[in-house]
Structure 1
């Protein structure tokens, strides 16, 4: 369970990113957050692992209050919350396998991680994660040699290597072409379904949201303006979230046609 209770974030300078958000996300749900740029989507998911601190209210992951965590507790929390980034955040010169093993840093002593000494069990977990996303054959290539879609799959595998309870994906397909974007979303949905990992994804493309989400959350100006199952979503709902009619730029297939 992820619980937002009156959660608010105001950045320095008075920019309000989240305004009194109340949400309950049950274990195992696949939730997509939509909204315009600047609506608070990235801020919302980054409060879950403490990358963005709240300025009001609370966020809980299970029985842990994220804002009340000390350094050691925060590290333990982040080991249970995998993060997938828009721009992959890989080390280009490192092998694919070593990039995935970064997801095991929480489980090995610091001196071993600095030396790059991982146990056979950690390597096996990393290889299993790569197999899960279909690129185990790339394990010993440099990350820089992979396509964008393959690099994002390495990012997913790195998160899986943590053996997380929750996966956060911050615009994971924004820099990918439409077929690759759909394939990456299908990977995330399959992992959610087969492994029961609670998954919270930020997306701009509305057709992807309706094709893959169990539930859609709409943010506008930091405020929660929609929260419901995909079956309740139509063009009027999206217009309420976006404050305007939909355009071709709001759907992946529309972008593909441009």
Structure 2
């Protein structure tokens, strides 16, 4: 369970990222968060991961308080949260396997990680993660030699290698072509269904939100302005979330 109670995030420059947000996300749910740039999507995800401090209110994950947590407590919370970024955040000069193994660094002694001295069990967990996203044959390929879609699937495998209870994805398909974006979203959806990992995905594209949103949360100016299923999110709902008429850029297909 992820629970936000009257959560506000105010940045040092005075900008309000979240404005009194109340939200509950049950274990195992697949949630798509939509909204324009600056609506609060990224702030929401980063607050859940403890990357952005909560100014006021309460934010808990499985009854562990994120807001006000000590550095040690935050490390424990983050060890159970897989994070996927738009820019992949891979180490390009090393292999896919080494990138995936980095998802286990929280539980591996520094001296072993420095020399790549992985155990058989740790390697098996990494291979299983790569199999989940259909890219195990690239295990010993340098990350720099992969396509954008392949790199994002490696990033998902790295997050899976943490054995997380929560997966957070911040605009994971923004830089991908439509077929590749579909593949990445289907990977995330299948992992959620197979493993029961609570998953939050930030998206801008309304057609993808409708297709994959078991639950869609719409954000505008740091507030939750819609909370329902993707099937209920028609054009009028998205126009209310975006605060304007829809355009072709609001859909991955190019057709709003």
Write the mapping of 1:48-87 to structure 2, written as runs, cut at 5 A: 48-87=48-87
What is residue 112 of structure 2 aligned with on the other side? 112
Q: Whole-Å Cα distance in 2 between the matches of residues 197 and 190 of structure 1?
A: 10
- The whole-number CA distance in structure 2 between the counterparts of 1:145 and 1:58 is 43
CA deviations 1:169-189 (Å, max 9, x no partner) are 000000000110011000000
In the alignment, the residues of structure 1 paired with residue 74 and residue 121 of structure 2 have an alpha-carbon distance, to the nearest angstrom, of 24
Shift of residue 231, structure 1, vs aligned partner: 2.9
- How big is each residue's C-alpha offset from its partner over 1:26-80, in whole Å with a ceiling of 9 and x where there is no partner? 0111000000001110000111110111111121110100123222221111110
Q: Which runs of 5+ in 1 are unaligned?
A: none
The 3-state SS of whatever aligns with 1:140 is coil
**Counterpart for residue 245 of structure 1:** 245
SS in structure 2 at match of 1:99: helix
- Structure 1: distance between partners of 2:22 and 2:50: 17
Looking at structure 2, the residues matched to 232 and 182 of structure 1 have their Cα atoms a distance apart, in angstroms, of 21
Q: Which residue of 1 aligns with 2:199?
A: 199
Q: How does 1:28-177 map to 2 (within 5 A)?
A: 28-177=28-177
Q: 1:215 and 2:215 equivalent?
A: yes
TM-score between both structures, scaled by the size of structure 2: 0.98
Aligned residues: 256
Unmatched 5+ stretches in structure 2? none
Deviations 1:100-158 (A, max 9, x none): 00001011112211222121111110011001100000000000000000000000000
Distance 2:205 2:66 in 1: 29
3-state DSSP class of the match of 2:90? coil
Distance, in Å, in 1 between the alignment partners of 2:245 and 2:136 is 43
What residue number does 1:225 align with? 225
Of Structure 1 and Structure 2, the greater helix share is in 1
Distance 2:161 2:17 in 1: 31
Mapped partners of 2:51, 2:209: distance in 1 = 24
Q: What is the CA–CA distance in structure 2 between the aligned matches of 1:205 and 1:88, rounded to whole Å?
A: 19
Partner of 2:18: 18
Partners of 1:68 and 1:116 in 2: CA distance: 35
Runs of 4+ in 1 over 4 A off after TM superposition: none
Q: What is residue 5 of structure 1 aligned with on the other side?
A: 5
Q: Any idea what SS the aligned residue of 1:59 has?
A: strand
- CA shift, 1:253, in A, is 0.4
Deviations 1:151-208 (A, max 9, x none): 0000000000000000000000000001100110000000001110000000010100
Q: How far, CA to CA, are the matches of 2:109 and 2:30 in structure 1? A: 33
